[in-house]
Amino acid sequence: MIGCGCKICKADLGEFTNELILSGESPKSVLAELEKEGLTVSKKLLKKHLAAFEIDYPHENSNSDQICEPVTIELNDIDFSQYDFDINQVESIIAYLQKLNLKVYLNQLQITLQAQQNVIDGKAPGVPSEVFKNLAIACEILEKSTGMRVMVNQQQAIKTVEAMGLTIQNQALLPPKNVQANSDTETN
């Protein structure tokens, strides 16, 4: 038996392969070298061959041509003109982000509804759990950026208080200007 008895060793390329790996070549380039020698080998076989010689199989990303460069973002270089907000107005930025987050949520809602429809139509056995998980995450993002829940609870509380015949004195509790009050037909 030559070497470990694998396809590489049988082709008498065992030593050649070991030397390449030990000199720091990536598995990918070793396989390419073997290909040049007329030998097509899978990664799995290469792994097995190296294991027989007690040579560690190199990590896929450890070869020198795949060094990660740090990403640097210069905030001053961002082109804000493509966004629909006034960078000098915090409220405008927040409103824009709230709108975007609402869009993310509505898109995810569409995906969820589609997944449910697929079940209703008999095209799928069930809604994948990631779909609901993603919807919950999107809802949380929206809630965090809008304070939606607090607003809803507060408005509900105000309605309850008003239904009891009491009036809200504190202006801060009334809906913000951008929220359409559903009953602003008070006596003028």
Q: Which parts of this chain interact with Zn ion (CB under 5 A)?
A: 3-4, 6, 8-9, 14, 49
Rounded least distance, CB 29 to Zn ion, Å? 18
Q: Which is nearer to Zn ion, 34 or 127 (CB)?
A: 34
Rounded least distance, CB 19 to Zn ion, Å? 13
Instruction: Return the exposure string of 46-81: e unless at least 16 CB atoms fall within 10 Å of the residue's CB, then b.
Output: bebbbeeeeeeebeeeeeeeeeeeeeeeeeeeeeee
Q: Which is nearer to Zn ion, 46 or 115 (CB)?
A: 46
Q: Which is nearer to Zn ion, 49 or 115 (CB)?
A: 49
Rounded least distance, CB 60 to Zn ion, Å? 20
> Cα–Cα distance between 105 and 130 in angstroms, integer?
14
Alpha helices in the chain (DSSP H): 7-10, 14-22, 27-36, 43-52, 90-120, 129-146, 148-163
